Amino acid sequence: MDATVAPRLLLTGATGFIGSRVLAATAGRDDLAHVRLLTRRPVDPPARTADGAGSGPGYETVPGDLTDPDSLRRACEGVDVLVHCAAAVGGDEELLRTVNDEGTRALVRAAVRAGVTRIVALSTASVHGRGPFRAAAPGTLPLAPGSATSRTRAAAEGHVLDAGGTVLRPHLVYGTGDRQVMPGLVRLLDALPGPLAAGDTLHSMIDADTLGRVLLGAALAPGTEPGPYHVDHPRPVPVTELLGAAERLLAHRRSRPRGTTVDLETARVLLADVPFAAHHLAMLATDHWFADDRPWTELGCDPGPGFTAGFARHEAWYRESFGGV
């Protein structure tokens, strides 16, 4: 990528949890010439601050879908950089394969044929399966996905990596708009008679806003390397801190007092017939700590203050949203 010329960027998944953060991060960037958004539904790009120099990139929305190869070819025309955030999570396995695996393959092929010089894709640390992972460095873990979502996202990674691209693998992502991490923990705790004691495990986490900035940084920074990156806050989160935040949210939505603390073995027995519980309990009981300082040393990004302060910025949103948890 020619560092002297501001590139034209294509973003997929701009209406999603993370893609919308990448879109927000592009506002006012003078090192971007143009941002094209491939979306299935309308999206409002950031407002330009002024006309002319210093106003940031121009924006363009084009209709398209990962299941429509013709739309992908059109979207990639004249583009220098691709940031791929669109993905299917959960649900029908055939849909997951069609969108995540085949859709990413078609997108990468279209990008390569169009002469795109850098491809950056959002993935997930779940492609490594269940831990224990303690200060695990990139390139040291095998792929061992345990679900249809993770298997198809691992396949998507393969298409990006085969084309010389970069994949970012966060573990737990939280923040406004989160419908999985903290809601899942609150559901788990709500099914128990008291707080959960899950030991002293450590977990990698990142807030969605920071992750969006890292994805854009990986797309634009001169030092971005091909291959996988772990992208999490450099300080892992003790499980007690994570569960404490979830307990506060639970206390907000229920009036009856909590009982005595429940250990992991008791929780497994009590929730043996609860389908989602085994996954959450297994994750909490095992270290999932991934170590990679390159997002902060090479991509020009700031990891921020960590989970306690980061979660506090989003706690009001979580409290308002938990009626549907």
Taking 60 as the threshold, does the pLDDT of residue 294 lie above it? yes
The confidence score (pLDDT) of residue 49 equals: 53
Distance CA 177, CA 180 (A): 9
The number of folded domains in the chain is 1
pLDDT tens digits, residue range 90-114? 889 999 999 999 999 999 999 999 9
pLDDT one-digit tens code per residue, 45-78: 887 655 544 578 999 999 999 999 999 999 999 9
Question: Which 3 state secondary structure label does DSSP give 214?
Answer: helix
- Helix runs in the chain, H state only: 19-25, 69-76, 93-96, 104-114, 148-162, 181-190, 208-220, 239-253, 264-270, 277-284, 294-297, 307-321
Mean pLDDT of 189-209: 96
**Beta pairing class for 202-203 and 237-238:** antiparallel
Which pLDDT belongs to residue 40?
A: 85
Angle (nearest 5°) at CA 35 between 226 and 179: 75
Listed residue (119, 102, 94, 152) closest to 12, CA to CA = 119
Range of the structural domain that residue 264 is part of:
8-319
Q: Answer whether residue 192 is part of any domain.
A: yes
Does residue 1 lie within any of the structural domains? no
**pLDDT score for 58:** 92
Q: Which two tokens stand for residue 61?
A: 């929305």
Q: With bands split at pLDDT 50, 70 and 90, how would you rate the model's confidence at 2? A: low
- Tell me the per-residue pLDDT of 209-261, one tens digit each, with 9 for 90 and over: 999 999 999 999 999 999 999 999 999 999 999 999 999 999 877 767 788 99
Instruction: Say what the pLDDT of residue 91 is.
Output: 84
Residue 325 belongs to a domain = no
**Read out DSSP for 5-20?**
SPPEEEEE-TTSTTHH
Answer whether residue 106 is part of any domain. yes
Q: Is 10 or 44 the better-scoring residue by pLDDT?
A: 10
Q: For 112, which DSSP code?
A: H
CATH code, domain with 95: 3.40.50.720
81 and 219 Cβ atoms separated by less than 8 Å:
yes
Q: Please report which confidence band the pLDDT of residue 324 belongs to, taking 50, 70 and 90 as the band edges.
A: very low
Residue 226: inside a domain: yes
Please write the tens of the pLDDT for every residue from 121-136: 999 999 999 999 999 9
Instruction: State the Rg of the chain over Cα.
Output: 20
What span, in angstroms and rounded, lies between the C-alpha atoms of 214 and 231?
Answer: 8
